[in-house]
């Protein structure tokens, strides 16, 4: 697949191509990796490449609504087992996570191919993405400007066409600010809808939640369906409308 065709599709569209046998997960991954390598020297969006892990995964049978679609996760509250979650801090840069976060597990179950972790300000505490440990991320529309924060690395990667959507999270605007800065769609899910475990029952006393930034509303909607498909067994709430197994509650 040529990059222009890759860029013309959102994640739902790419998944349909994979499901229809028009392109393979491995082919999509190589297009995404090539794009990341072409632009990230200027953007500094991806701070932890996972290319070998992703290539191994792309060669295996994948199922789910996003099977074969390349994806990036944020280097904050989105643990990938065996790799550090640096959270934009030197203190955590080399401490590997013991297991996947619940959201990462659900993204993997959905068939996404995770090939990197994106930059974030230290502990997600700013509306710009300029951690001392990793350096600043730049806005692909104007390299003299910020992509916002704290999901600035994810937003820059999506706006630059590396991936059609990427993992993000939001306590006080960390999805919405970078979406606005980079011309993307950003939805902060409501409290209790998206699992925060297994490390915590909820983040920032319930004010923070995981989600994504994307180029299309349907991608964010479909990804939210993935994240809320079933209740969180370790969560403090059972969200209205979701029951055991994901059935609607009358």
117 is catalytic: no
Catalytic residue check, 174: yes
The answer to whether residues 140 and 156 touch, using CB atoms and an 8 Å cutoff, is yes
**Three-point CA angle 18, 34, 143, nearest 5°:** 120
Helix crossing, 11-19 with 25-43: angle to 10°?
150
Phi, psi of 79 (to 5 degrees): -75, 140
- The answer to whether the CB of 192 falls within 8 A of the CB of 210 is no
Q: Which of 89, 150, 154, 214 is catalytic?
A: 150
The one catalytic residue in 174, 188, 214, 220 is: 174
**113 neighbors 47 (Cβ within 8 angstroms):** no
Please state at what angle helix 25-43 crosses helix 51-58, rounded to 10 degrees.
160
150 is catalytic: yes
Question: Active-site residues: which are they?
Answer: 74, 150, 174
């Amino acid at each position: 697949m040529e990059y222009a065709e890759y860029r013309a599709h959102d994640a739902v569209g790419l998944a349909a191509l994979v499901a229809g046998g028009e392109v393979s997960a491995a082919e999509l991954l190589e297009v995404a990796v090539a794009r990341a390598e072409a632009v990230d020297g200027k953007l500094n969006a991806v701070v932890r490449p996972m290319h070998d892990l992703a290539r191994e995964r792309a060669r295996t049978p994948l199922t789910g609504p996003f099977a074969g679609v390349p994806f990036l996760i944020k280097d904050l509250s989105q643990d990938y087992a065996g790799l550090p979650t640096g959270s934009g801090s030197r203190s955590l840069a080399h401490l590997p996570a013991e297991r996947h976060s619940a959201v990462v597990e659900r993204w993997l179950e959905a068939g996404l191919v995770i090939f990197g972790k994106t930059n974030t300000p230290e502990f997600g505490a700013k509306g710009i993405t300029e951690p001392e440990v990793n350096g600043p991320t730049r806005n692909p529309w104007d390299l003299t400007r910020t992509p916002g924060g704290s999901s600035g690395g994810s937003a820059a990667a999506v706006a630059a066409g590396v991936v059609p959507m990427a993992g993000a999270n939001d306590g006080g605007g960390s999805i919405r600010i970078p979406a606005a800065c980079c011309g993307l769609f950003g939805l902060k899910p409501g409290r209790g809808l998206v699992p925060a475990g297994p490390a915590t029952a909820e983040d920032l006393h319930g004010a923070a939640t995981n989600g994504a930034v994307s180029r299309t509303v349907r991608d964010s909607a479909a990804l939210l369906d993935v994240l809320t498909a079933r209740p969180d067994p370790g969560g403090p709430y059972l969200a209205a409308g979701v029951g055991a197994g994901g059935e609607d509650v009358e």
